[in-house]
Amino acid sequence: MKKYLRRILSVAMAAALSASMCVSASAFTYPSSYWPLHNQWESLAGGTDTNAILSVAQQTYDLLVPLGMSQDVCWNLEPKCAQASWICEVTGDVDGAITWLERQLSFAQWLHDNGYGYDDTLLDGQARLDYLRAAQTPKIYARSNSDPSPYSVGPTSGTWFGTALGHEQPNESAALMYVNFQDGYSVDYWIDYYMGTSDNFRQAANGGVIELAWNFSPEGTAGAQTVLAADSYINEGVRAMGQLNATILLRVGAEMNNWAECDPNTYIQAFRKVADAAAAYPNIQMVFSPNDISNRNVTIDQFYPGDEYVDWIGVSTYQNTNYNDLNGSPMAYSLSGAAGSNPFYGTGVYDYDPLIVIQPVVELARAHGKPMIISECGFAHRSNSGDQTNYAVDQLTRFYSYVNMVYPEVKAVFYFDVNMPGEQYDYALSDNSTVRAAYDKVIADNGAYLYEGQTSATGWEELSQTQLTQADTLRLAAYVSYPGTRDITVEYYVDGVLMATVNQAPYYYDLNTAALSAGEHKVHVVATGGQFSRQGTIYTLNVPGTAAPDPEPQPDPSQQTPSDWALPLIEDAQSKGLVTERTNGGYQTPITRLQFAELAVNMIEKATGAEITPAEDTFQDTDDAVALKAVAAGVASGKGEGVFAPDDSITRQEICVMLNRAIQYVDAANGTTTLTDTSTQVDSSRFNDTADIDSWAVEAVALLTNNGLMAGKGEGVAPKANTTVEEAIVLIRALFDQF
């Protein structure tokens, strides 16, 4: 439950892991071209010339990866990829940070699989990847006209909410009570006790919802064994619950994945024993509820009792570190690191989004098709270091605003409104009127939480799912998550026109769709904060109304003929077999990623005289052989998370990267050297926009422009501009003539 306790466990694990890494080096001979790069790295590492560091890292990566996975290759590249990824994150290049981190994890995984440890690297790296992927594309959610639940248990729509008994808040739709297993009193005793002391419990027991946390005592294997030997106590307990006129969410042995010691098999047996006894009472629903962060020795899956025993998947989650490092200093990025920051524990620069830390449990719920309950949560407004009310308000607002919006699986949320004297943190709403007011406001503003007596509520959906039935006001909320960044500015655009600027989460904006013309409109946000600035997903919103007249017929782009300047060059390219089926027409339209990949693959096969064997299909959005050939040749790798984006327009800097890799492939196959100018710095005296080139593309842009294969646009490189089909064909032809 408390993050500072989990850190103690990780220190011991880290010591054990470091001992396991002391192994003898294998025999390996580096190519002679490696050593100049090695010397450059030694002189640059730890410095501030980030472009040079990334360039050397990329060159070393390109040189060593074709040699295959080995101890030496992985030991060499893993830390270089780690530093390159961190540089990208510090400078706001999210895509580059993800690319380099995925590379780092591939080497760490090989080392781990071959007995060299790296457990902590993999755990921390995967957690950091979750934060970076959340930062990649801001999303927009819209209030839904309906929120039907797909689950057989839980509310038919909306989200139950409540607090722990003792300081419960009025008008809640559910109540949370705790019972320690065999604490000397029966469950029936505690039910009678709360019947006499709590209005919320009496209301919940009369047709409402009660989460009953049946905690093992002691926590661990011994506690699970106690459950296995307590038939009479279990049967009496579930009978008392079963006699209530209430839905009982029975949470058994919560947070087991964070206990100092617990045998998973013994825990599963104990959980199943209670579930078997509870099965006789249809009002009891079983809740498997791990902690948000596991002891590094175990995983959540190890404790899962099985779908037939589980109705809900829950989670305990607490935020308490006040955006400060362990010394109380404000968090800050630097090239050397960020003190007190750990993505696995969600601390430091990774303590700004309370939703990311619960993502592994959400993924478990999705994998098993179960609704989700936030079994208990808290946001500390006081610590031993002093007041942190602003922190608690910010984190509570973000969590309650977004948790049932971004994670529609969440159908119940419970707050730990308890003051525990002597503890390091205080979460109790009753102890802080400002936090209490924020709690009331965020629940009302969200609109999907069910108050006492309510049986339905509207919810949220991603804007891509919204289908307007009439023009009206549509409430939108942008979800933006940048590591280390609390203060973010969100700009809403409709059809490219700035409509609103919002500076506070949950970044609500009421879009007046009645003021828009009938038909399709493009909606997106641009979110800026700290070193990050990203354009979000572009959504198409169809506004109903009087049907517009049929548009004037437009010429078919596929019938376009080449421009006068390009015609002789394209005819020459056609004679050399460089124009492909997909690029034989539409010459003035922007070329797509798949079209350009086809041009590049075709050029490679013409230049080498050998057909490329397609790679294994790992994409969700295409199985086209051209895309798979491009991957096999190293020309393209997709955009992460199984996405190739075949229909996206390709940028000039992406073209440079693809062509540079195509040149490397042809040179390796033919034993040639195509690029005579090997400088990896873009000439800023020629181009006035070199700062706009993303770090992952700097080297390729430099090589292509310095060797005259990529011309500028106006006074700049225009790295993020698109290229027409005819321009791409002319470029491919010019490169082919160099081979």
Q: How many domains does the chain have?
A: 4
Instruction: Give 206's Cβ-side CA count (13 Å radius).
Output: 10
pLDDT of residue 551: 59
Give per-residue pLDDT as tens, 63-108. Answer: 999 999 999 999 999 999 999 999 999 999 999 999 999 999 999 9
- Is pLDDT above 90 for 21? no
14 pLDDT band (50/70/90 cuts)?
very low
Q: What mean pLDDT is predicted for residues 502-512?
A: 95
- Is pLDDT above 90 for 338? no
Average pLDDT, the chain: 89
Question: Which residue has tokens 């248990």?
Answer: 153
Q: Would you state the torsion angle of the CA atoms of residues 712, 714, 719, 720, taken in this order, to the nearest 10 degrees?
A: -140
Nearest CA among 248, 179, 245 for reference residue 217? 179
Give per-residue pLDDT as tens, 243-291. Answer: 999 999 999 999 999 998 999 999 999 999 999 999 999 999 999 999 9
4 pLDDT band (50/70/90 cuts)?
very low
Q: Which residues, 6 or more positions from 638, have their beta carbon under 8 angstroms from its beta carbon? A: 618, 619, 627, 631, 644, 645
Contact 287, 248 (CB under 8 A): no
Tokens encoding 602: 């075709």
User: Do 352 and 256 sit in the same domain of this protein?
Assistant: yes
Is residue 30 situated within a structural domain?
A: yes
Q: What mean pLDDT is predicted for residues 676-700?
A: 89
Instruction: Give 398's Cβ-side CA count (13 Å radius).
Output: 23
Largest CA distance in the chain: 93
Q: What mean pLDDT is predicted for residues 387-411?
A: 95
Question: Which residue has tokens 């910010």?
Answer: 394
User: Do 413 and 377 sit in the same domain of this protein?
Assistant: yes
User: Do 703 and 689 sit in the same domain of this protein?
Assistant: yes
Cis peptide before 218 (omega within 30 of 0): yes
Q: What percent of the chain has pLDDT over 70?
A: 93
The packing angle between helices 652-670 and 593-608, to 10°, is 20
pLDDT of residue 643: 84
Is residue 555 situated within a structural domain?
A: no
Q: Is 515 exposed, middle or buried (0-12, 13-18, 19+ CB in 10 A)?
A: exposed
Is residue 706 situated within a structural domain?
A: yes
Distances (CA, A) of 37 to 44, 59, 335, 661: 10, 8, 21, 18
565 pLDDT band (50/70/90 cuts)?
confident
Is residue 573 situated within a structural domain?
A: yes
pLDDT of residue 550: 57
- Is pLDDT above 90 for 437? yes
Tokens encoding 438: 């924020």
User: Do 151 and 117 sit in the same domain of this protein?
Assistant: no
User: Do 120 and 214 sit in the same domain of this protein?
Assistant: no
User: Do 154 and 214 sit in the same domain of this protein?
Assistant: no
> Which of the listed residues 549, 579, 607 is the one where a domain comes to its end?
549
Distance (Å, whole) CA 732 – CA 739: 11
Distance (Å, whole) CA 522 – CA 517: 12
The dihedrals phi and psi of 730, each to the nearest 5 degrees, come to -60, -40
Domain containing residue 350: CATH number: 3.20.20.80
pLDDT of residue 13: 35
Give per-residue pLDDT as tens, 119-139. Answer: 999 999 999 999 999 999 999
pLDDT of residue 692: 87
Q: Which 3 state secondary structure label does DSSP give 286?
A: strand
Query: What totals of helices (H) and strands (E) does the chain contain, helices first?
Result: 20, 21
pLDDT of residue 638: 77
Is residue 452 situated within a structural domain?
A: no
User: Do 187 and 149 sit in the same domain of this protein?
Assistant: no
pLDDT of residue 512: 94
Nearest CA among 211, 212, 216, 210 for reference residue 180? 216
Q: SS in 3 state form for 155-203?
A: CCCCEEEEEECCCCCCCECEEEEEEECCCCCCHHHHHHHHHHHCHHHHH
Boundaries of domain holding 722? 560-736
User: Do 166 and 131 sit in the same domain of this protein?
Assistant: no
User: Do 49 and 112 sit in the same domain of this protein?
Assistant: yes
Q: What mean pLDDT is predicted for residues 390-394?
A: 93
CA 32 to chain CA centroid, nearest Å: 40
Distance (Å, whole) CA 628 – CA 616: 7
Is residue 200 situated within a structural domain?
A: yes
Q: Which residues, 6 or more positions from 190, have their beta carbon under 8 angstroms from its beta carbon? A: 177, 179
User: Do 649 and 575 sit in the same domain of this protein?
Assistant: yes
Give per-residue pLDDT as tens, 212-243. Answer: 999 999 999 999 999 999 999 999 999 999 99
pLDDT of residue 288: 98
Is residue 329 situated within a structural domain?
A: yes
User: Do 305 and 192 sit in the same domain of this protein?
Assistant: yes
Q: Which 3 state secondary structure label does DSSP give 560?
A: coil
> Which of the listed residues 447, 467, 484 is the one where a domain comes to its end?
447
pLDDT of residue 169: 78
Report angle CA 139, 99, 36 to the nearest 5 degrees. 155
Distance (Å, whole) CA 62 – CA 316: 44
- Is pLDDT above 60 for 15? no
Is residue 554 situated within a structural domain?
A: no
Q: How many other β-carbons are positioned within 10 Å of the β-carbon of residue 716? A: 15
User: Do 21 and 111 sit in the same domain of this protein?
Assistant: yes
pLDDT of residue 556: 60
Please list the alpha-helical segments (H only) found in 176-288.
187-197, 199-205, 221-228, 231-242, 264-278
- Is pLDDT above 80 for 324? no
- Is pLDDT above 90 for 558? no
> Which of the listed residues 392, 426, 447 is the one where a domain comes to its end?
447
